[in-house]
Amino acid sequence: MRSFQLPLEGIHRRKQLQILNLKTDFQAGPKRPAFLLFFSEKHGKILRKETQLKMAYLFNPKNILSVLILFIIMVGGMSSYAFYISVCPRRFISGVNPSHFGLKYEKVSFKTEDGLTLKGWFIPKEGKGSTIIVCHGYPFDKGNILPSSLFLHKKYNLFLFDFRAMGESEGRYTTVGYHEKKDLLAAIDYLRSRGIESIGALGFSLGGAVIIMTHSPDIKAIVSDSSYATLDLMIHSLFRHYHFLRYPFVFTVRLLSRMVLKFDTSSVSPVDIIKEVKSPILLIHGERDSQIPVKNAYLLHEAAPKSELWIVPGADHGEAQALATMEYERRVLEFFKKNLR
């Protein structure tokens, strides 16, 4: 009996040790039961195989080419849409005219050198005096800027008109400054045909940029509110939320401009022209302009150090006059009084 029991006791002891060792292995971590090792190795092989297949698919030249073509189509489509809605904006015709403010005015029309008929308003003041041309922003019309320019009527005749493809004027598309120079030159010719020699100009946003780029000696004093420095900066700003991916979009828009509109956007650059302008210039810009960042005003002033620069604290795009009404009107009236004879 003893010889039979002893081996059994020994076997049980060995099993206990095996179980104890197994528990220790699980607690220590490096050793695993055979069935777990088998499962892990098999699962690892499957994962490695799946990874290899995915990498082979991803780096397959045909698939890379397909992704590239898809990206080009996406960039081309989005850029073309942005280009179209920018150069063919929806017409904005405000219901405001000078009669709503009790003012007498003349509806006028005049032609540009490339044959477009533009519509405008001439608002005379009592007695003779200088005339201020008021140029609206993109993509609005003369009625949009009328209320904010009426303070000038205390001292001056006012002449407001619609740029091509905006308001009531003819034109199928805008060039955001390139051909709009012809519009302003036509407006100046119209005033001169009426015997008006003393001319100043106030422009907001696009209007301010156009006045600078037109570089007309007939304009004796310029107030530019929230102008851009270059059109290329504006295009970059349009796609700013795409971060580094904006570059292919910017390239495509510039390419479309050359192909469709026949001009290079880099040539629409007030910052390159302002240094040649002899007339006095007052630059106004909102400190927090979210559409045309204040950097544009500093670039313009740096190019023309003799210009006056006023940065309106806390103002967004188009808010300078609203946030500092009395100061705005005082500065502009004093500027024209000093520089218009």
C-alpha separations of 30 from 22, 26, 33 in Å: 11, 8, 10
Q: Is the pTM of this model over 0.75?
A: yes
Give the integer Cα–Cα distance in Å for 338 and 334. 6
- Please report, in angstroms and rounded to a whole number, the separation of the first and last CA atoms in the chain: 135
Checking if the pLDDT of 138 tops 90, the result is yes
Rounded distance between C-alpha atoms, residue 196 and residue 136, angstroms:
21
Domains of the chain by range and CATH?
Answer: 2-58 (no CATH), 66-89+231-262 (no CATH), 98-230+268-339 (3.40.50.1820)
Element (H, E) at 225: strand 219-225
pLDDT band for position 20 (cuts 50, 70, 90): very low
Q: Are 166 and 92 in contact (CB under 8 A)?
A: yes
Give the tens place of pLDDT for each residue, 181-234: 999 999 999 999 999 999 999 999 999 999 999 999 999 999 999 999 999 999
Q: How many degrees, rounded to 5, is the angle at CA 178 between CA 108 and CA 243?
A: 130
Closest among 313, 303, 262, 256 to 281, alpha carbons compared: 303
- If one compares 36 and 191, the residue with the highest pLDDT of the two is 191
State the Cα–Cα distance between residues 85 and 268, nearest whole angstrom.
Answer: 19
The tens digit of pLDDT for each residue in 145-176 reads 999 999 999 999 999 999 999 999 999 999 99
CB atoms within 10 A of CB 39: 12
Residue 197 and residue 333 in contact, taking contact as beta carbons nearer than 8 Å: no
- pLDDT interval class at 58 (50, 70, 90): low
Distance CA 178, CA 230 (A): 11
In tens, the pLDDT along 274-306 reads 999 999 999 999 999 999 999 999 999 999 999
Which secondary structure element, helix H or strand E, spans residue 44, and what is its range? helix 34-58
Distance CA 182, CA 266 (A): 18
242-254 burial, b at 16+ Cβ within 10 Å, e below that, comes to eeeebebbbebbb
* Per-residue model confidence (pLDDT) at position 240: 78
Q: How confident is the model at residue 83 (pLDDT cuts 50, 70, 90)?
A: confident
